[in-house]
Structure 1
Amino acid sequence: MEYYDLIIVGAGPSGSTLANALRNSGKRVLIVDKQTFPRDKTCAGWVTPTVMESLNVNLDDYSRGRTLQPISQFRIGMMGQPAVENDHGEVVSYGIRRCEFDAYLLDRVDSPKALGTAVKSVERDGGNWVVNSTWQAPLIVGAGGHFCPVAKLLGDGPGAHETVVAAKEVEFQMTPDQAQRCQARGDTPELWFCKDLKGYAWVFRKGDFLNIGLGREDNHKLNDHLNAFVSEMKASGRIPDDLPGRFKGHAYLLYDHAERPLVDDGLMLIGDAAGLAYTQSGEGIRPAIESALMAADLIWGLEEFSAQSLQPYGEAIARRFGNRSENQKAGFQVPNWVKMPIASTLMRSHWFTRKVVTEKWFLHQES
């Protein structure tokens, strides 16, 4: 049996960031993931300059051999009506490929890794957790996304108020002919809101790579909305009419509706495992990174990991992202005041699409 101070389940951005942040803490850290890296990850894939700065990513270094698409404009609309294009006059985000981004962050981690290893059992043995009857630690951190096995130790599934968003997307490298026919531009991601405002779709070009997807809160209508959107984009020439492969699905919780406890005795959740995706946009990379850094700040000085000693992490999350109990009545994606007949008018407004949709909901420039 190998002993560690903590075991991190999930080697995505939150897990690798936590492990890297604890590099010089003296803590013995093991990071476990069922996948080997680089691995395919369904995600539209953009990060703000703030995220890159918080990760201490050197952009020149990262861009060598990897996709780093500067974004300075957004094209936003409601399905069935013309889009509005806003130029922000500077780089406000970067397009990345998750297969490259996640591997880059994990490569910086010098802690032991058990990759390609599924977590089959987590059992309590005195004051420690035993994983796969092989490793033990007094603290286990769930960083494995919505279906993280550690999250199951804190609850049996989504609660009555939890909004589980289902999304489907495809990312592929376009042929020269497809790239020439595709009207979507790399510096201008496109966001298209469903008419009922229960979700949105996107077209995101990153060099010769194209990512197309749609996410909604009602899973049973997802395919219908996706097929209609793809057909509309093909007909208008925004995307090639010969898309390869199948759309892949994934799910996540919106922060204002998630009910998962974040800590318990020897347990902690970060990133999507904790249900931290922004409610208005569903974006989860920035909350994942920030939650990992908050967790590291606390773990650094702890000698024991009771629920009481870990509670300051939950309090820090509430201070940063708001009190969930006060926000559970809020709607998915957009506030209730937008869900009115004026919504289609607002989505044609340069001021609203820039100041509210892009800068507040998606880029979070006020926070």
Structure 2
Amino acid sequence: MDYYDLIIVGAGPAGATLAHSLRDSGKRILVIDKKTFPRDKTCAGWVTPAVMASLDIDVSDYAREHTLQPIRRFRIGMMGQPAVENNHGDVVSYGIRRCEFDHYLLSRVTASRELGTPVKSITRKNGNWVVNDTWEAPLIVGAGGHFCPVAKLLGDGPGSHETVVAAKEVEFEMTPEQSEACEARGDTPELWFCKDLKGYAWVFRKGNFLNIGLGREDNHKLTEHLERFVEEMKASGRIPADLPGRFKGHAYLLYDHAERALVDDGVMLIGDSAGLAYTQSGEGIRPAIESALIAAQVIREAEDYSAQSLQTYGETIAQRFGNRAAETENGWHLPEWIKAPLASTLMRSHWFTRKVVTEKWFLHQEVPPLGLTGSAVHF
């Protein structure tokens, strides 16, 4: 049996950030992931300057060897009607490829790693957690996304009664012919809201790579909506007529709909395993990064790994992201006053699509980067 102070299940942005943040803590850490890296990850793939700042990533240095598409504009519309384009002037976000970004974050981790290793069992033994009958630690952190096995330790597990967003997307490198024909521009991601406001689709170009997808809370109609959207985009020339490969699916919880506890004795959940994706946009990278930084601070200061000692983590998450709604109406979590038919009019407004949809819901520009000073987390 190999003993550690902490086992992190999941080597994506949340898990890698937590391990990296604890690199000088003196704790013996093991990171486990069922995939080897670099690996494909279903995700539209953009990060805000706040994320890069929180991760202490030099943008110029990262861009030397990785895809980093500056974003200055957004095209936003409701399906079936013309889009509105807004120019933000400055760079407000960056397009990334998750296979590169996640591998970069993991490459900074100095802790022990077991990649290509599925978690087959998690058992309790003398106050510690034992994974796969091989590794033991008093604290285990779930960072493995929506279906993370650690999340099952804190309840019924994913899919029991929580409202789940399902998404399908494809990302591929365009041929010269496809690239020339594609009217989507790299610095201008496109967001298209479903008419029933239960989801949205996107077209996002990053150099010669193109990402197309659609996410909804009404997943039994997901494929139908996606096919209709793709045909619409092909007909308008926004995307190539000959898309390669299959659309891949993934699922996640939105913050206001998640009901999972975040801590218990010797257990913490971060990122998508905790259901932290932003309610209005579904973005999960920034909440994953920030939850990992908050968790690292709590772990450093905890007297022990009891639920009581770790509860500061849950309190700080609520302070940062707000208290979860007790009841939330189905739909893409828009305020009641935005419901159709008013939504159709608002989505044609430059002010609304820029100030509310883009800057508030998708970029969270009013929220400063998470800061860590000494032993305190400040916002």
Deviations for 1:99-147, whole angstroms, at most 9, x for unmatched residues?
0000000000000000000000000001100001111000000000000
Aligned to 1:245: 245
The Cα offsets for residues 250-291 of structure 1, whole Å up to 9 and x where unpaired, read as 000000010000000000000000000001000000000000
1:3-22 aligned at under 5 Å gives the runs: 3-22=3-22
Pick which of 233-242 and 329-338 moved more: 329-338
Could you tell me whether the CA contact under 8 Å between 2:197 and 2:331 is conserved in 1? no
Aligned to 1:230: 230
Aligned to 1:73: 73
Alignment partner of 1:280 is 2:280: yes
How far, CA to CA, are the matches of 2:158 and 2:146 in structure 1?
10
Mean CA deviation greater in 316-325 or 89-98: 316-325
Q: Which moved more, 1:187-196 or 1:294-303?
A: 294-303
C-alpha distance in 1 between matches for 2:136 and 2:292: 21
Where does residue 111 of structure 2 map in the other structure? 111
Q: Is the 8 A contact 1:161 1:257 kept in 2?
A: no
C-alpha distance after superposition, 1:295-347 (max 9, x if no partner) = 00010122410010110100001111111145634743422221131110000
| 3-state SS of 1:120 partner | coil
Q: After superposition, where does 1:107-256 map in structure 2 within 5 Å? A: 107-158=107-158, 162-256=162-256
Whether the aligned pair in 1 keeps the contact of 2:198 and 2:330 (CA below 8 Å) is no
Matched residue, 1:86: 86
Residue type at the aligned position of 1:285: I
Q: 1:184-220, CA deviations, whole angstroms, 9 ceiling, x for partnerless residues?
A: 0000000000000000000000000000000000111
Cα contact 2:146–2:158 (8 A) shared by 1:
no
- Tell me, in whole angstroms, the C-alpha distance in 2 between the residues paired with 1:160 and 1:305: 27
Where does structure 2 lack aligned partners over 5 or more consecutive residues?
368-379
Q: Which residue of 2 aligns with 1:27?
A: 27
Give the corresponding residue for 1:360.
360
> 1:310 maps to what in 2?
310
CA distance in 2, matches of 1:200, 1:342: 17
Quote the residue 2:50 is aligned against. 50
Shift of the 159–170 alpha-carbon distance from structure 1 to 2, 3 Å rule, reads closer
Task: Name the CA distance, whole Å, in 1 between partners of 2:217 and 2:329.
Answer: 14
State how far apart, in whole Å, the 1-side matches of 2:50 and 2:81 are. Answer: 33
The DSSP-based 3-state class of the residue aligned with 1:148 is coil
Number of the residue aligned with 2:64: 64
2:361 partner letter: W
CA distance in 2, matches of 1:93, 1:13: 17
Structure 2 residue 290 is the aligned partner of structure 1 residue 321: no
Question: Is the Cα–Cα contact under 8 Å of residues 168 and 247 in structure 1 kept in the other structure?
Answer: yes
Q: Is the 8 A contact 1:256 1:324 kept in 2?
A: yes
C-alpha separation between the residues in 2 aligned to 1:355 and 1:193? 16
RMSD (Å) for aligned C-alpha atoms:
1.2
1:292 equivalent in structure 2: 292
Aligned equivalents of 1:329 and 1:311: distance in 2? 28
CA–CA distance in 2 between the matches of 1:60 and 1:273? 31
SS of match in other structure, 1:64: helix
One-letter amino acid of the structure 2 residue matched with residue 41 of structure 1: K
8 Å CA contact 2:152–2:158 kept in 1: the answer is no
Higher mean displacement: 70-79 or 54-63: 54-63
Give the whole-Å Cα distance in 1 for the aligned partners of 2:163 and 2:337.
Answer: 19
Q: Distance in 2 between matches of 1:37 and 1:159?
A: 27
TM-score by length of 2: 0.95
Q: Give the Cα–Cα distance (whole angstroms) in 2 for the partners of residues 258 and 324 of structure 1.
A: 8
Checking the alignment, whether the CA contact within 8 Å between 1:158 and 1:259 is kept in structure 2 is no
How far residue 157 of structure 1 moved from its aligned partner, in angstroms, is 3.0
Distance of 2:112 and 2:366 partners within structure 1:
38
Instruction: State the 1:158 CA deviation.
Output: 4.7
Contact 1:162 1:254 in 2 (8 A): no
Task: Give the Cα–Cα distance (whole angstroms) in 2 for the partners of residues 24 and 33 of structure 1.
Answer: 22
Counterpart-to-counterpart distance in 1, 2:99 and 2:214: 20
CA distance change for structure 1 residues 90 and 253 in 2, over 3 Å: closer, same or farther? same
Distance in 2, Cα, partners of 1:209 & 1:334:
31
1:260-279 correspondence runs (5 A): 260-279=260-279
Cα distance in 2 for partners of 1:266, 1:147 equals: 19
Give the whole-Å Cα distance in 1 for the aligned partners of 2:111 and 2:299. Answer: 16
Q: TM-score, normalised by structure 1?
A: 0.98
Q: What is the alpha-carbon distance in structure 2 between the residues aligned to residue 122 and residue 2 of structure 1? A: 14
